[in-house]
Structures are given as structure tokens and as C-alpha cells.
Amino acid sequence: MTAAERWAEQLAAWAIPQHILDQAPQSPWAHETASFVVDDTLDRSVLSAEVARTVLPKEGGSVLDVGCGGGRAAMSLVPPAARVIGVDQDPAMLAAFTTAAAEAGARSSTIQGAWPEVVLEASIADVVVCHHVAYNVAEIEPFLGALTGRARLAVVLVLPTVHPMTAWNNAWHRFWNIERPDGPTSDDLVEVLEEMGISPERWEMPRPPLARNTADPATRVPSTLRRLCLGNDRADEVAEFLALHEPDWAAVHTVLRWPGDASSAMSFGTS
């Protein structure tokens, strides 16, 4: 089995049993926009930003942010980046991205759709960033290949060392008596890249601050109910459980950087 097949197989193991999904009041996989907006928690000095900044032009550079959410990855690079392009399948995230770019003083554009299906709509950028998206992607090789193909200088990809949903594994056991998977990991992603002939540079960093909404204790019960496919009638039980069992957030994030292979003749703004 190839590394890419192992990646897909491990992600498939996260499928939620149909009888649980059927009674879920809301999608357990959805991302809340408020959890990914640019706010005063954004730390522009984190390692992932430094790693991207060292390859960006000193001024006027461009950043393509794939799975951009509200733009925390791209906006931490403004300046020196002066132009940001956000790609996301969720229009609410793109609206937040546009607002954040205006507030940061960057020119911006957005593309709504699933990467890599929308790759041809995306102009080439100096640096392509992709934070906290890889674990959503079963067909990982074309996804990574398209990131590389749109980067003139480098791709910087960030992911927790372990799948973010492992934070609720104990809760799944408590409320549904089922065991959840614990893979894949960032090591598995590196194996996929190596199989593609890419040897990324690699760093580990502590988890950067969460957006204000995610860090707010008031959002923990509703978000846990959603992740666990439970209704509001279980809110008290979930609150009790969380008081004793803090979700086990991945404390370490992996930062990967590798060279882009887009032709410089097609650099952003001229393609």
C-alpha cells in the first residue's frame, strides 16, 4: 500500500456510524466561521509565519491561502505580503477573509470551491500557505501537487501532529461507547510528500493561541455537542464531562515547507 493510500484509509476510519449521523441535529464536521477569524489573538511572530516570511519578497509579495478560513495564515504575513488570495469552499469564511484583508491593508481576492478542483482559477503566488486543512483531505496527492504547482517560491503547510478530532476521543467513548481512530499523523503526511519526490523542511511548534471564540469557555459545550452528534438535551451531561476531562487538544503543530514549482514567468499578477 502506498503512503497516500494509507493516508486515505486512516481518514476513512473517522467515518461516523450512520445510525449516529442520522440523528445528529447538525453536521459534526462543520467549521464555525467565528473560530477562524482574525482577531487580537493572532500572533504574527509564530514559527509558521517566520518560516513563510523568510522566503517572501521583502515587500509587495503575494500569498495564496488554501482552506483560508478567516485568513489567520495569510494575514499573519501582511506585511510584507501586499496581496492575498483566499480559497475556501465556505462563502462565510471567504467574507471574513475579505474583511480581514481590508483591515490589514492588503489587496485581496477570493475563490470559492474545493481545492484542487478550483486550481485553475488560482493565480500563482510567491508563497502558498495551507493551515489545518490536510486532515480534511482524503485524496491528498493531487491536493498537495496543486499547492506546489501554484507556488513560485514555497509552500508552507501546517497541521497538528495528530488528527484534531482526537481531542474528543474520550468523549466519544463516554457518550457513545465507541473507540475513535488516532491516525493519521503529520509523520504520515511527510511520507506522502516523500513518495511524491518532495523532501520538506520540518519544524514542530507549540499550538499558537486560538481565536477568541474558540478559546471562550462558553463555546465548549455547544461545539462538543456538535462534534459528538448530540442535541441540547445532553448539554448538562456534556458540561459535567468537560469539567473533568478537558478536550485533549494537540499541543504541538508541525510546520512543513518545500519549494514551489510554478514558473516564475507566470508570477502573480501576470498570469
Using the minimum distance from each CB to ligand SAM, give the nearer residue, 136 or 161: 136
Residue in the structure block whose three cell numbers are 509523520: 187
Shortest distance in whole angstroms from residue 240 CB to ligand SAM:
27
Of these, 41, 109, 136, 219, which contacts ligand SAM (CB under 6 A)?
A: 136
Query: Residue 158, exposed/middle/buried by CB under 10 A (0-12, 13-18, 19+)?
Result: buried
* Buried b or exposed e, range 61-74, using 16+ CB within 10 angstroms: bbbbbbbbbbbbbb
List the 252-259 sheet strands across, edge first: 107-112, 81-88, 61-66, 125-131, 151-160, 252-259, 201-206
Q: Is residue 89 within the footprint of ligand SAM (CB under 6 A)?
A: yes
Q: What is the C-alpha to C-alpha distance for residues 45 and 204, in angstroms, rounded to an integer? A: 15
Comparing every residue's Cβ against ligand SAM, the nearest one is: 69
Mask: binding to ligand SAM, 47-76, rule CB under 6 A, as x and -? --------------------xxx--xx---
Spatial separation of the C-alpha atoms in residues 12 and 195, rounded to whole Å? 20
**Which span sits near ligand SAM by CB under 6 A: 4-12, 44-52, 102-110, 133-141?**
133-141
Find the shortest distance in angstroms from Cβ 119 to ligand SAM: 10
Cβ proximity to ligand SAM: between 121 and 240 the closer is 121
207 or 245: CB nearest ligand SAM: 207
The answer to whether 139 and 8 have CB atoms below 8 angstroms apart is yes
* Shortest reach from residue 194's CB to ligand SAM, in Å: 22
Binding-residue total with ligand SAM (CB under 6 A): 19
Q: To the nearest whole angstrom, how small is the minimum distance from the Cβ of residue 123 to ligand SAM?
A: 16
| C-alpha cell at position 234 | 445532553
Candidate segments 132-140, 149-157, 169-177, 224-232, binder of ligand SAM by CB under 6 A: 132-140
* Choices 100-108, 129-137, 168-176, 183-191 (CB under 6 A): range interacting with ligand SAM: 129-137
Q: Binding ligand SAM by CB under 6 A: which of 7, 36, 258, 268? A: 36
Applying CB under 6 A, which residues contact ligand SAM?
31, 36, 67-69, 72-73, 87-90, 93, 114-115, 131-133, 136-137
